[in-house]
Chain A
């Protein structure tokens, strides 16, 4: 048994999702950390179990049967640290997204300043804003109190005031929070996060502290009008999320105990991993998209900054029935390559929300599921775009910025029957531009690595480089606007063995050139009609040849323009969708 993780200890990582719980084992093989195996079981946060630890134990038991060694003892208790006979593990980390979305009230002074920061802050985890209280709120204090009492929030996030700035106005806004909390039964009182004017800390504690289920203070999200710093408050919020879940769902406390306090919200852990990778790959912007039962989440890492958006309203589980509050049946059906009626789709949304863990068994069901996933992820990406920093590499402000690599995970993407299907879903919804490497997180490892990073900073890098992720390939997506069928790009791919492959990309089409996983190639491009891959219209990088890495689909050229404009004629649209589907390996 090694004495520290860096010396080569084994690590078990568990992700408790809304539908499934996964247990993943990482260990040292030939001197480097590797993903060994995973076990999966249905999650048990819901009735009749109402105890997440049951699902965790079942997932670990399934993992045991794969690896052939014991991780649980006869009483189903995790064996830790690892034993001389090979049983057990040295450490556990947990990520958690199961459970109902946290009802949240946000409080701030100004709509476009502190309240906007509060909104961004709460969107970094699984929350739903049920009320907003601002300085210019016209409601009487008692109306605010009654609103809070009606909503019974799990969480109140208070921002406002620059450090050393306004305090009287904040005090005025705290009164209804304190009074409403006072009127709620003790067990129903919300947790409160204060991330505003630091001068107010003691006052906030005295006004609200004793009346909330717990009060947390984090550094001001708006230390000055021009500066926003969400990171410390996001960290605190992640911690609060786990604390609230401990009160709401049995078994979370046991996982917290087993892991020594290393439980994180899944999306936050993913965001942390993306931030970490953005530091490792210094000169590039990294994107991670994940769409699962609980939420769609978009994490982006830029030079020196990062964003994280969690969108429970676009989750493919129990919230699916509410998706039509954000989109239309027509907008979902535009992505279907089969002729599906609106009625069938509407029935599907309601039926699937009853049984979030079910999967598509027929081709028609898969077509519907994928159309919904496309639209949900598209909406999530559009929402996330609003929160990206302004000074980042992009071709047009309205388009997705330049990202490479792009990580894709979550059941809708990792369960796709073929990598091409996952890639097409991603291209349609995220609509990346320029040249991007796309990596499929088939085993949904990214959040687990983000969580593991807190205990072992070598493990994530070594696992990512070990091939535990599926490289789908490199996508070249020029931005151009011309008529269908017009050539927009010519390319020559030089392979390592000296051979070449050529391509002419026409507007409105998808093309591929084979380049196997692990292989590298040199891509020479000729940009036509003002095509832009991130260096300006018709402009190539200084180093004319672009190094590209291979993957399951090689190099994929997406000539459909940005944003993708689908034909309005349904028959022609479905024909095109089928053709694109077929190009990327579909049937």
Chain B
């Protein structure tokens, strides 16, 4: 059976595609080195539109209105510019209410774009641009440790990692933060209170890596202007041992927190990258595997949710679970030595 993979690994080659939602301009070139916060592509679109119905305003037919419209598609017009004027002695004129660009003219109507929204696509990882897709985006490659999470607040930043955890079960509180942490990426545990998130913002911290977040804090976490990556889940879940070991042993290193929103269809996931120097290109981690004895796995549902173990044996046929359901299952040896039976669908490979 195919096994989903959550990447929590040491030195690996990491390749990420960065694509604009609509076509725009790529700002970097092939083989260029980029940092995680560099803008690699951008696009613009109109913030709002204005529709001027000349025919209605001047109370004339659409055909007549079409004849007196003075602008054409592509014209950039300043507020107050006259775009049509009636033909009678006391004829009214139609003026543009705001600065904008004409995008369509027809049927006695003028459609204009006003204001501008800019979408800037950040690299998300530091590395080398290995492919440029003209007008769309880039592919970037780097090497380092990778810790994928389950939730992110759609921000990205880099900074020095400071470990505020003594063990994987730690709760991060406001009292653990002081001014010496300003500009750092904080490795915390469980976040239960809004004050914790606000205190990190007040420092300000450059990012937060936490094991779990109370669901009631999700709206506030989305508002924070620093990236937050949740590694394990919602509620009071300790950090899985693999992520904890990898992160806590890399304290004082420069890390990238790319808190992308998890998208199951595109494969985008929030992640933490610890760039590492390399002499030769390390291997990449496979995105999917087949369940087999020896694989390191994480439990995605109770019992032992969040625990790490290794598959001892894939059980034949269907196994009767304590819930009464029957499903393909495996025997998994947890790190504490206990062996439990887990349905395969509740496992994900960690590697």
Q: Which residues of A contact B (CB under 8 A)?
A: 41-42, 44-50, 58, 99-100, 140-142, 145-146, 149, 179, 182-183, 185, 188, 318, 343-344, 346-347, 349-351, 354-355, 357-366, 415, 417-418, 421, 587
Q: Is B323's CB under 8 angstroms from A142's CB?
A: no
Set of chain B residues within 8 Å of A42, measured between Cβ atoms:
1-2, 345
B220 contacts A by Cβ under 8 Å: no
Beyond known contacts A41-B1, A47-B263, A359-B343: 19 more, CB 8 A cutoff: A45-B265, A47-B265, A47-B266, A145-B51, A146-B48, A318-B264, A347-B215, A347-B235, A350-B235, A354-B233, A355-B301, A357-B345, A358-B346, A359-B345, A361-B321, A361-B323, A362-B302, A363-B322, A365-B302
B104 CB to closest chain A CB (Å) equals: 6
Say yes or no: A47-B346 contact (C-beta < 8 A), given A140-B51, A361-B301, A365-B301: no
Interface residues of B in 17-43 (CB under 8 A from A): 22-23
- A364: chain B residues at CB < 8 Å are 302
Q: Which residue of A lies closest to B269 (CB)?
A: A47
Residue B327 is within 8 A (CB to CB) of chain A in the complex: yes
The complex places the Cα of A44 from the Cα of B2 at a distance, in Å, of 10
Q: When chains A and B are docked, how far (Å) is the Cα of A140 from the Cα of B263?
A: 34
B48, B301, B303 pick with most chain A CB within 10 angstroms? B301
User: Which residue in chain A gives the minimum CB-CB distance to B233?
Assistant: A351
A360 touches B301 (CB 8 A): yes
B8 within 8 A of A: no
B234–A351 touching, CB < 8 Å:
yes
> Which B residues touch A49, using CB under 8 A?
288
Contact: B300 with A355, CB < 8 Å? yes
Residues of A within 8 A of B343 (CB): 358-359, 361
CB-based contact B323/A365 at 8 Å: yes
Question: Complex formed: what's the CA distance from A42 to B290 in Å?
Answer: 12
Please, which residue of chain B has its CB at the minimum distance from the CB of A324? B215
How far, in Å, is B286 (CB) from chain A's closest CB? 9
Contacting residues, chain B, for A141 (C-beta < 8 A): 51, 53
B321 — which chain A residues lie within 8 A by C-beta? 359-362
CB distance from B105 to the nearest CB of A (A): 11
Number of interface residues of B (CB under 8 A): 49
In the complex, the number of residue pairs spanning A and B with C-beta atoms less than 8 Å apart equals 137
Q: Which residues 244-281 of B sit at the A interface, judged by CB distance below 8 A?
A: 262-267
Q: Quick check: is B316 within 8 A (CB to CB) of the other chain?
A: no
* Interchain CA distance A344-B49 in the complex, whole Å: 46
Q: Which of B2, B48, B267, B326 has the most chain A CB atoms inside 10 A of its CB?
A: B2
Chain B nearest Cβ from A308, distance in angstroms: 26
CB-CB < 8 A to A350: which residues of B? 215, 218, 233-235
Contact of A418 among B22, B265, B324 (CB under 8 A): B324
- Within B200-219, which residues are at the interface with A (CB < 8 Å)? 215-216, 218
Question: Which A-chain residue is minimally distant from B319 (CB atoms)?
Answer: A361
Q: Which residues of chain B from 22 to 74 have a CB within 8 Å of any chain A CB?
A: 22-23, 45-46, 48-51, 53
Cross-interface CB contact of A363 among B46, B218, B323, cutoff 8 Å: B323
B: residues with CB less than 8 A from A are: 1-2, 5, 22-23, 45-46, 48-51, 53, 103-104, 111, 150-151, 215-216, 218, 233-236, 262-267, 287-288, 300-303, 305, 321-327, 342-343, 345-346, 348
User: Is B322 in contact with A362, judged by CB distance below 8 angstroms?
Assistant: yes
The answer to whether B303 touches A362, judged by C-beta atoms less than 8 angstroms apart, is yes
Q: List 24 A-B contacts (CB under 8 A).
A: A41-B1, A42-B1, A44-B2, A46-B265, A48-B287, A49-B288, A100-B265, A140-B51, A142-B50, A149-B45, A179-B51, A183-B104, A188-B22, A346-B216, A347-B215, A347-B235, A350-B218, A355-B300, A360-B323, A361-B301, A361-B321, A362-B322, A363-B323, A365-B302
- B325 and A359 form a contact (CB under 8 A): yes
With A142-B50, A358-B300, A361-B301 as given contacts, are A366 and B325 in contact (CB-CB < 8 Å)? yes
Q: CB < 8 Å: which of A183, A188, A354, A361 contacts B302?
A: A361
Report chain A residues within 8 Å CB of B53. Answer: 141
User: Given B288, B301, B323, B346, which contacts A417 in the complex, CB threshold below 8 Å?
Assistant: B323
Q: Which of B23, B262, B300, B325 gathers most chain A CB within 10 Å?
A: B325
A587→B323 CA distance, assembly (Å): 10
B234 to chain A, nearest CB (A): 4
- Residue in chain B with minimal CB distance to A188: B22
What residues on B are CB-neighbors of A188 within 8 Å?
22
Contact partners of A343 in chain B: CB under 8 A: 235
Question: What CA separation (Å) do A337 and B236 show in the bound complex?
Answer: 24
In the complex, A318 Cα to B322 Cα: how many Å?
A: 25
Complex Cα distance, B234 from A185, in Å, reads: 38
Task: Give the docked Cα–Cα distance between A346 and B217 (Å).
Answer: 12
Give chain A residues whose Cβ lies under 8 Å from the Cβ of B50: 142
B104:A347 contact, CB within 8 angstroms: no
Known: A140-B51, A364-B302. A354 touches B325 (CB 8 A): no
Q: Once the chains bind, are B22 and A185 in contact (CB under 8 Å)?
A: yes
CA distance A357 to B346 in the complex (A): 8
A100 to B264, CA, bound (A): 10
User: Could you tell me if A48 and B342 are in contact, using CB atoms closer than 8 angstroms?
Assistant: no
Complex CA gap A386/B214 in Å reads 36
| Minimum-distance CB pairs A-B, first 4 | A47-B267, A417-B324, A347-B235, A48-B287
**B301/A347 in contact, CB under 8 A:** no
Separation in Å of the A89 CB from the closest CB of chain B? 23
- Report A388 CB to chain B, min CB distance, Å: 33
Q: Which residues of B contact A99 (CB under 8 A)?
A: 265
| Contact (Cβ within 8 A) A50 B267 | yes
Closest-CB distance, A396 to chain B (whole angstroms): 35
Question: Given the complex, which residues of B lie within 8 Å of A363, measured CB to CB?
Answer: 322-324
In this complex, the member of B103, B288, B323 whose beta carbon has the largest number of chain A beta carbons within 10 angstroms is B323
Nearest to B47 among chain A residues (CB) is A146
Residues of chain A lying within 8 A (CB to CB) of residue B151: 354
A361-B265 in contact (CB<8A) = no
Within the complex, the shortest CB–CB distance from A241 to chain B, in Å, comes to 16
Contact call A347/B324, Cβ cutoff below 8 A: no
Please name the residue on chain B nearest to A54 by beta carbon.
Answer: B2
**Which residue on chain A has the smallest CB distance to residue B114?**
A142
Report how far A140 CA is from B343 CA in the complex, Å: 55
Say whether, besides A359-B343, A366-B324, A418-B324, A145 and B265 are in contact (CB < 8 Å): no
User: Which residues of chain A are within 8 angstroms of B303 by Cβ–Cβ distance?
Assistant: 361-362
A359 contacts B1, C-beta separation under 8 Å: no
**Which residues of A have CB within 8 Å of B322?**
361-363
Q: Point out the residues of chain A lying under 8 angstroms from B22, CB to CB.
A: 185, 188
List chain A residues, Cβ under 8 A from B23: 185
Asked if A58 contacts B111 (CB within 8 A), the reply is no
Contacts of A358 in B (CB 8 A): 300-301, 343, 345-346
In the bound assembly, the distance between CA atoms of A31 and B278 in angstroms comes to 68
A347 & B233 in contact (Cβ 8 Å cutoff): yes
Identity of the chain A residue whose Cβ is nearest the Cβ of B321 in the assembled complex: A361
